[in-house]
Chains A and B, each alone.
Chain A
């Protein structure tokens, strides 16, 4: 049972490039989330989904997009990378509003 798996673990992007952060879970959780973590700032919710085909904005959605075509997968898309998007990104899942299970994160640097 792998839990929540995020790929890649590390990535360096140039300003203006795009990329997709992958997240998959094998716990059949209906809720999935994307957070970013910056030093001293805690976790900020980017987007979340309560089920396949349903997504909604969190606290800091600008510059990101998501889709949820299956229960298992919840990719996060950066279209035009900016230095302000340098961060550690975490995907999480839960059954309803229960305790969230986190992946190990993707460390993204934009230069």
Chain B
């Protein structure tokens, strides 16, 4: 069974600092990988997705993630945090197009002024 692990349930950064949210997956085959963001009292929105075309994936709002097969990781980064980035972020894995998404437990990002 595939799974996804997000290290750190809470991350706090200063405005303008680097954002790094960690995600590791376990899968016997190269999976499809996603990052979603959830703002308060809203549903999840897709930030970016990896579907084996390129290992560095750029998403919305300046976020990007790099697929590293050797490390089974798909960490999310943003060079400079904004106050508006404060939200909960979920990593998700899909083994194949006919499979179901498996979500990590989420990382809540706080941005300090």
Contact = CB atoms under 8 A, between A and B. Distances in A.
A2 to B, nearest CB: 13
Nearest to A35: B103
A102 interface: yes
Interface residues of B, number: 22
A104 B105 contact: no
B113 interface: no
Contacts of B98: 96-97
27 contacts: A4-B43, A33-B100, A40-B105, A42-B90, A42-B104, A42-B105, A45-B100, A45-B101, A48-B100, A58-B100, A92-B44, A96-B97, A96-B98, A97-B94, A97-B97, A97-B99, A97-B100, A98-B97, A99-B46, A99-B49, A100-B44, A100-B101, A102-B43, A102-B45, A104-B42, A104-B43, A105-B41
Interface string B71-113: 0000000000000000000100010111111011110000000
Interface string B13-54: 000000000000000000010100000011111100100000
Nearest to B99: A97
Interface string A18-59: 000000000000000100000011110100100000000010
Nearest to A4: B43
A41 B43 CA distance: 15
B10 to A, nearest CB: 10
A43 B92 CA distance: 10
Contacts of B96: 97
A77 B23 CA distance: 34
B9 interface: yes
B110 to A, nearest CB: 16
A71 to B, nearest CB: 18
B34 A42 contact: no
A27 to B, nearest CB: 13
Contacts of A41: 105
